[in-house]
Amino acid sequence: MLSSATFNLLIKALIGALMVLLIGVLARTRNYYIAGLLPLFPTFALMAHYIVGSERGVADLKATLLFGMWAVVPYLAYLISLYCLIDRLRLLPALLAALLVWCLAAAAAVLWWQRR
């Protein structure tokens, strides 16, 4: 029999796998661009917000939500950099460079948040 913690991890893994499958299916359709919207569905945010809200309380949840709003900045930096790089580099190097931009922007957001 599965423990509660193991069951919760299994559910999260299944949700992640479902999201990957849906992205793959959508990428093959006439409306392939919707595959870019699906990763923004707040699947993991819902889990994070539930866990923080139930274990840490409303004040910490509000701080998490505010930081989550700032977390859009690294994603936007990723999208902009990939958009600019995709015409100059092959796909994999462009993705890796955009990922590096995301990492740098995310690190900057965390450092800024910790110092405020």
Q: Please write the tens of the pLDDT for every residue from 2-40.
A: 788 888 889 888 988 998 999 999 999 999 999 988 888
Crossing angle of the two packed helices 58-70 and 72-85, in degrees rounded to 10: 20
Which whole number is the average pLDDT over 91-110?
97
Q: Please write the tens of the pLDDT for every residue from 44-87.
A: 888 889 999 999 999 999 999 999 999 899 999 999 999 999 99
The structure tokens 């939500």 sit at 65
In contact, 23 and 39? CB cutoff 8 Å? yes
Residue 1 has pLDDT above 80, yes or no: no
For residue 110, CA distances in Å to 14, 42, 91 come to: 29, 20, 28
Q: What was the pLDDT predicted at 15?
A: 85
Quote the CA–CA distance of 58 and 39 in Å, as a whole number.
Answer: 26
Quote the CA–CA distance of 43 and 109 in Å, as a whole number.
Answer: 22
State pTM to two decimals: 0.77
